């Protein structure tokens, strides 16, 4: 039976997941992909039982994916049954206070990124800037300088053309460099391959509550450097998050209170989106149940949910066996604790099918009920696997190691991860987030745009007896239906979007899921643009008090540098006629190397200044040549229409293609980026360079969503964190 996929799901699979030959032609379809993954992961059964019915297990795994009930994390979909074979998404590496240790970790980071994984680090052990370096009698450059090295390395490493490098950088709130760290990402040019979070301690929160000072401690000497008022640091965190969306915060005491293996060490870091706290060299394999598929006849099918969870746990434990780990130390540590993380997606869709508003007490109760059920079934299946296959090797000394606790196969079983691309494949809402939009503008191949309407909204409006067609673009302008008189109140009540919901409800839903989740919950608390500092402070305090292990906030528009595809339309602007090109111009031609070859850029001026730009790529022809010519024509048209050179450079800078290259000490990301470098050199204008435009998707130009602690495009599946 063919798999029923949405148009967006087909685009994402073709672009990022399906196997291609050396010329880029697809050589498998969605059914082939799910069959490949199911067969590879099912083969692990034979490790424990040579007589195991592998065909039966393969069919169970295949049906779970083909029916869009369960999806593993992206590396498993991409790599299972293929040569690379690296199936984990999450890794944490140690950063020690020595040049040797730091660059050893950098090497390991490169190997992980090359294999398609993301990495998390705590830089808290690195001595502060200007501290003594005993071996050379010099001074330390501090943790932020080394984060910059990791960032540049990540920018340089390709991940097979399918996954971008992603990092989490964490610094303890009592590190002497904490103030510089808090503000590092308010500069949009810095650390664009990092999410950053402040590791908050219980001691800090107590000092904050008492409005007293606390000590900043040098990790090298373990002694206090100076004392600072907790309120002052907290306000700086809030200010920076209000301005740029970062840093996030993680609560170390909450995380280590549920650390299943404290005898192996304290947890200091998480993966890039914050939902997976890990010890150094641990990895975790994640997967998500599509809750929208668990609703039948207006109620939850608990039997179906039970069988789906149990099969999902079986699947994820098998992944640990067939995985090809990027480092031997990671394999050893991963097999020692056997951490897995089964989570959910489609929660908002499930609520809609049940007629429950996301921002309601009923939704909070449903979140607790569903996750408590999933957690209980996941642990029970892990106990059964423990009896059949043996419990995880680090079990002695773990939190389970007492006579009253049944043995466990896995140190952890549940995680709520961001599901940006896999939820697009499954055709459901992301993770435990509310809807991104009831409708949004989708970019199609011919450059046209179409409104994409939520399928449940279409289904329900047809039952309500009114036409949605005239409303489609109106809804897409804001993503919301709350201010449209034509939409019935009953639909407005359940079709609420992330920006329709008060921030407190985001935290209440996160806390409800966290209550029954072994690891952590990846969630973004969305704020309107006019949110105050006090609003953000309230959410941080609420997240800590309710037991969340971390929190990420995003104030609408704070890191967006292009017009979003949801938002109020602009007023019409007067038409501009470009000035006529003169008969004679004068200028230069400059050669610059790009990842596609040598590009020759000609810049000409007339009496009024720069007026045209042409570019040609060596001996190339076809599509590449025509697009370069089109870029030059549009630049020339803009110049003769009075557009500032600075504005043109800003638009071209930072556009990336799959083949960036270093040229004269600068990274050239694409042909348009190369043209911007030549124009900048010719005109000598001062324009800050940018590496990625956030707001519109850098790959398709569609609208992006801030959810699950990450940035995701619902049109093409682009994800900054995957």
pLDDT tens-digit map of 520-537: 999 999 998 899 999 999
Residues 476 and 537 grouped into a single domain: no
Query: Is residue 607, in this structure, part of any structural domain at all?
Result: yes
The band of 571, judged by pLDDT with boundaries at 50, 70 and 90, is very low
Query: Comparing 264 with 623, which gets the higher pLDDT?
Result: 264
pLDDT digits (tens, 9 = 90+) for 593-621: 887 788 889 999 887 788 889 898 865 55
Query: Is residue 325, in this structure, part of any structural domain at all?
Result: yes
Query: Is residue 633, in this structure, part of any structural domain at all?
Result: yes
Give the domain-ending residue among 401, 425, 449: 425
Residues 340, 344, 348, CA angle at the centre, nearest 5°?
Answer: 165
Residues 344 and 273 grouped into a single domain: no
Whether the pLDDT of residue 561 is over 60: the answer is no
Query: Is residue 565, in this structure, part of any structural domain at all?
Result: no
Residues 238 and 386 grouped into a single domain: no
CA 187 → CA 190, 232, 423, distances in Å? Answer: 6, 21, 32
Residue of 58, 268, 275, 282 marked active site:
275
Omega before 344 within 30 of 0, i.e. cis = no
- The pLDDT value recorded for residue 693 is 39
Residues 80 and 94 grouped into a single domain: no
Instruction: Please give, one letter per residue, the 3-state secondary structure of 274-321.
Output: CCCEECCCCEEEEEEEEHHHHEECCEECHHHHHHHHHHHHHHHHHHHH
Closest listed residue to residue 520, CA positions, set 263, 248, 171, 208: 248
Number of folded domains that form the chain: 4
Query: Comparing 585 with 147, which gets the higher pLDDT?
Result: 147
Q: Is the dihedral of CA 75, 76, 77, 81 positive or negative?
A: positive
Residues 491 and 636 grouped into a single domain: no
Residues 209 and 303 grouped into a single domain: no
Residues 346 and 484 grouped into a single domain: no
- The pLDDT value recorded for residue 703 is 65
- The pLDDT value recorded for residue 160 is 44
How many Cβ atoms from other residues are within 10 Å of residue 447's Cβ?
Answer: 7
Q: How far is CA 69 from the centre of its chain?
A: 22
Residue 365's SS3 state is helix
Query: Is residue 579, in this structure, part of any structural domain at all?
Result: no
pLDDT digits (tens, 9 = 90+) for 306-345: 999 999 999 999 999 999 999 999 999 999 999 999 999 9
Mean pLDDT for the stretch of residues 24-49: 96
Residues 122 and 265 grouped into a single domain: yes
Task: Give dist(CA 274, CA 248) in Å, integer.
Answer: 9
Query: Comparing 65 with 467, which gets the higher pLDDT?
Result: 65
Give the domain-ending residue among 381, 401, 425: 425
Query: Is residue 697, in this structure, part of any structural domain at all?
Result: no
Query: Is residue 207, in this structure, part of any structural domain at all?
Result: yes
DSSP assignment of 210-244 equals: HT-EEEEE-TTT-SEEEEEEHHHHHHHHHHHHHHH
Is 716 annotated in the active site?
A: no
- The pLDDT value recorded for residue 106 is 96
Query: Is residue 711, in this structure, part of any structural domain at all?
Result: no
Residues 551 and 611 grouped into a single domain: no
- The pLDDT value recorded for residue 446 is 47
- The pLDDT value recorded for residue 467 is 66
The pTM of the full predicted model, rounded to 2 decimals, is 0.81
Task: Give dist(CA 367, CA 346) in Å, integer.
Answer: 12
Give the domain-ending residue among 453, 479, 496: 496
- The pLDDT value recorded for residue 572 is 38
- The pLDDT value recorded for residue 469 is 65
The band of 636, judged by pLDDT with boundaries at 50, 70 and 90, is confident
The band of 626, judged by pLDDT with boundaries at 50, 70 and 90, is confident
Is 271 annotated in the active site?
A: yes
Cα atoms in the 13 Å half-sphere on the side-chain side of 586? 4
Task: Give dist(CA 536, CA 319) in Å, integer.
Answer: 39
Task: Give dist(CA 280, CA 98) in Å, integer.
Answer: 16
Residue of 79, 90, 167, 273 marked active site:
273
Is 275 annotated in the active site?
A: yes
Q: State the chain's mean pLDDT as an integer.
A: 88
Mean pLDDT for the stretch of residues 337-365: 98
Residue of 193, 195, 271, 526 marked active site:
271
The band of 368, judged by pLDDT with boundaries at 50, 70 and 90, is very high
Q: Which residues of 158-180 are buried (b: 16+ CB within 10 A; e: fewer)?
A: ebeeebbbbbbbbbbbbbbbbbe
Domain that holds residue 12: 7-87+286-425
User: φ, ψ for residue 39 (rounded to 5)?
Assistant: -65, -45
How many Cβ atoms from other residues are within 10 Å of residue 203's Cβ?
Answer: 15
Residues 373 and 446 grouped into a single domain: no
Residues 113 and 244 grouped into a single domain: yes
- The pLDDT value recorded for residue 642 is 82
- The pLDDT value recorded for residue 722 is 57
Whether the pLDDT of residue 719 is over 90: the answer is no
The band of 568, judged by pLDDT with boundaries at 50, 70 and 90, is very low
Residues 477 and 548 grouped into a single domain: no
- The CATH code of the domain that includes 43 is 3.20.70.20
Query: Comparing 279 with 588, which gets the higher pLDDT?
Result: 279
Whether the pLDDT of residue 433 is over 50: the answer is yes
């Amino acid at each position: 039976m063919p798999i029923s996929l949405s148009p967006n799901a087909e685009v994402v699979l073709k672009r990022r997941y399906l196997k291609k030959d050396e010329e880029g032609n697809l050589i498998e379809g969605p059914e082939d992909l799910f069959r490949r993954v199911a067969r590879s992961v099912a083969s692990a059964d034979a490790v424990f039982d040579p007589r195991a019915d592998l065909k039966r297990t393969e069919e169970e795994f295949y049906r779970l994916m083909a029916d869009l009930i369960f999806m593993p994390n992206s590396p498993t979909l991409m790599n299972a049954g293929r040569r690379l074979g690296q199936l984990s998404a999450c890794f944490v590496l140690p950063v020690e206070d020595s040049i040797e240790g730091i660059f050893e970790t950098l090497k390991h980071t490169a190997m992980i990124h090359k294999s398609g994984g993301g990495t998390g680090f705590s830089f808290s052990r690195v001595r502060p800037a200007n501290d003594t370096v005993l071996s050379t009698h010099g001074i330390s450059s501090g943790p932020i300088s080394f984060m910059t090295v990791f960032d540049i390395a990540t920018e340089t490493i390709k991940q097979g053309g399918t996954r971008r490098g992603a990092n989490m950088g964490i610094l303890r709130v009592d590190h002497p460099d904490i103030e510089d760290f808090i503000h590092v990402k308010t500069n949009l040019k810095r650390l664009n391959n990092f999410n950053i979070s402040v590791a908050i301690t219980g001691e800090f929160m107590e000092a904050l509550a008492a409005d007293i000072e606390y000590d900043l401690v040098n990790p090298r000497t373990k002694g206090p450097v100076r004392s600072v008022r907790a309120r002052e640091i907290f306000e700086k965190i809030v200010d920076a998050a209000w301005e740029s969306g970062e840093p996030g915060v993680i609560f170390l005491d909450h995380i280590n209170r549920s650390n299943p293996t404290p005898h192996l060490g304290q947890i200091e870091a998480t993966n890039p989106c914050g939902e997976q706290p890990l010890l150094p060299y641990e990895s975790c394999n994640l997967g998500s149940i599509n809750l929208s598929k668990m609703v039948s006849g207006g109620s939850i099918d608990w039997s179906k949910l039970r069988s789906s969870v149990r099969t999902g746990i079986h699947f994820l434990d098998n992944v640990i066996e067939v995985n090809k780990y990027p480092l031997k130390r990671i394999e050893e540590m991963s097999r020692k604790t056997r951490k897995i993380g089964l989570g959910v997606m489609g929660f908002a869709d499930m609520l809609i099918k049940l007629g429950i508003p996301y921002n309601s007490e009923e939704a909070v109760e449903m979140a607790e009920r569903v996750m408590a059920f999933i957690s209980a079934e996941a642990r029970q299946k892990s106990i059964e696997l423990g009896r059949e296959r043996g419990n995880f090797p680090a079990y002695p000394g773990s939190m389970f190691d007492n006579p009253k606790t049944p043995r466990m196969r896995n140190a952890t079983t549940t995680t709520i991860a961001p599901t940006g691309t896999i939820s697009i494949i499954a055709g459901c809402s992301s993770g435990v987030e509310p809807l991104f939009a009831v409708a949004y503008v989708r970019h199609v191949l011919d450059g046209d745009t179409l409104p994409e309407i939520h399928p449940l909204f279409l289904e329900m409006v047809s039952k309500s007896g009114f036409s949605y067609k005239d409303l489609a673009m109106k809804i897409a302008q804001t993503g919301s239906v709350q201010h449209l008189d034509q939409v019935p109140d009953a639909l407005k009540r359940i079709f609420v979007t992330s920006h329709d919901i008060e921030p407190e409800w985001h935290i209440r839903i996160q806390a409800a899921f966290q209550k029954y989740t072994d690891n952590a919950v990846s969630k973004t608390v969305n704020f309107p643009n006019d949110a105050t500092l006090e609003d953000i402070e309230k959410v941080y305090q609420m997240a800590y008090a309710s037991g969340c292990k971390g929190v990420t906030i995003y104030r609408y528009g704070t890191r967006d540098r292009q017009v979003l595809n949801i938002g109020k339309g602009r007023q019409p602007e007067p038409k501009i006629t470009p000035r006529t090109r003169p008969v004679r111009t004068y200028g230069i031609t400059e050669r610059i190397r790009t990842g596609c070859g040598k590009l020759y850029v000609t810049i000409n001026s007339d009496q009024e200044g720069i007026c045209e730009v042409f570019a040609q790529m060596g001996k190339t022809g076809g599509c590449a040549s025509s697009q370069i010519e089109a870029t030059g024509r549009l630049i020339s048209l803009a110049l003769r229409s009075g557009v500032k050179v600075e504005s043109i450079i800003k638009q071209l800078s930072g556009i990336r293609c799959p083949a960036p290259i270093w040229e004269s000490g600068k990274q050239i990301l694409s042909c348009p980026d190369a043209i911007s470098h030549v124009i900048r050199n010719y005109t000598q204008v001062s324009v800050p360079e940018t590496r990625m435009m956030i707001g519109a998707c850098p790959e398709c130009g569609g609208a992006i969503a801030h959810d699950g602690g990450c940035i995701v495009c619902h049109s093409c599946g682009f994800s900054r964190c995957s």
